[in-house]
Amino acid sequence: MSEDLQSNHTASPPIISVRNLTVGYGDEIVLRDVSFDVLQGEVLAILGRSGCGKSTLFKAMVGLIEPIQGEVYIDGEKVLPVLEGASEKILRKVGVLFQSGALFSSMTLAENVAFPIRLFTKLAERIVERLVMLKLAEVGLTGKERLLPSELSGGMQKRAALARAMALDPKILFFDEPSAGLDPVTSAEIDQTILRINATLGTTVVIVTHELHSILTVADRVIMLDKDEKNIIAAGSPWELKENARDQRVVDFFNRSPADDRGPVR
């Protein structure tokens, strides 16, 4: 990525570094030679049109797929694929909220949130129970701890999954399409929850999304991917890109305009 696509954020060293990352499936290359940083405490949105590789990049960053080449570093340590012995040290620094929520359907909310605490710590059960109640309270689910996921609305399931992602007080939270399938009011509630966590805990947040309202509400900075170029075509403040972008693909995205054959304006 060229220097003009780099953020002006220079106050702190990056907590995530993606370097020369190429990822794909079989013979198909989805992204090629992608590089960028995420700074501690910022909210970064990864955006672009459908099929541009947002979710593929997300999976590579959290170790769910192995890159063809390149590396991802979290807090200075190289991310290894989960199936190849990913570092427990790294796993404890990140929380992941998948698009589906991925709650264990046979477990209550309390059991879901307690799962990573019991897996990675040796805390006494009374401490685990107290932490679970605190995490559920942080996402507005006090009193729901005995419910199963199937007994919750879609928005409540997302918040429960967020409580589980936060269980170990991670430095970084990854969100894959957090507003997908939610009504506008519930989506706004999720946005405000993300902002509150970032502001009160200083948690770094990486969001994969195509929801323009959420991007403009929560993101400090964005990177925009393109399916044809297989790389980043724009980076910076979402509001600056909305108002000042010259690349027609970026202009169309931020103004919800249909694509045509005009091509990028340089």
Domain with CATH 3.40.50.300 in the chain: 3-93+171-254
- Angstrom CA distances, 216 to 22, 24, 32, 104, 190, stand at 28, 29, 27, 32, 14
The pLDDT assigned to 2 comes to 37
Architecture of domain 3-93+171-254: 3-Layer(aba) Sandwich (3.40)
Whole-angstrom distance, CA of residue 119 vs CA of residue 117 = 5
- Give the SS3 label for residue 76: coil
The pTM of the full predicted model, rounded to 2 decimals, is 0.84
**Whether pLDDT at 231 is above 80:** yes
Whole-angstrom distance, CA of residue 86 vs CA of residue 132 = 25
* pLDDT confidence tier of residue 133, bands split at 50, 70 and 90: very high
- What is the per-residue pLDDT across 60-90, written as a single tens digit (0 to 9) for each? 998 888 899 999 999 988 988 766 655 667 7
- What is the per-residue pLDDT across 44-53, written as a single tens digit (0 to 9) for each? 999 998 889 9
- What is the per-residue pLDDT across 144-173, written as a single tens digit (0 to 9) for each? 889 999 898 888 888 888 888 888 888 999
Over range 103-120, report the average pLDDT.
89
Whole-angstrom distance, CA of residue 90 vs CA of residue 143 = 32
Pick the closest to residue 77 from 86, 65, 69 (CA basis). 86
The pLDDT assigned to 101 comes to 61
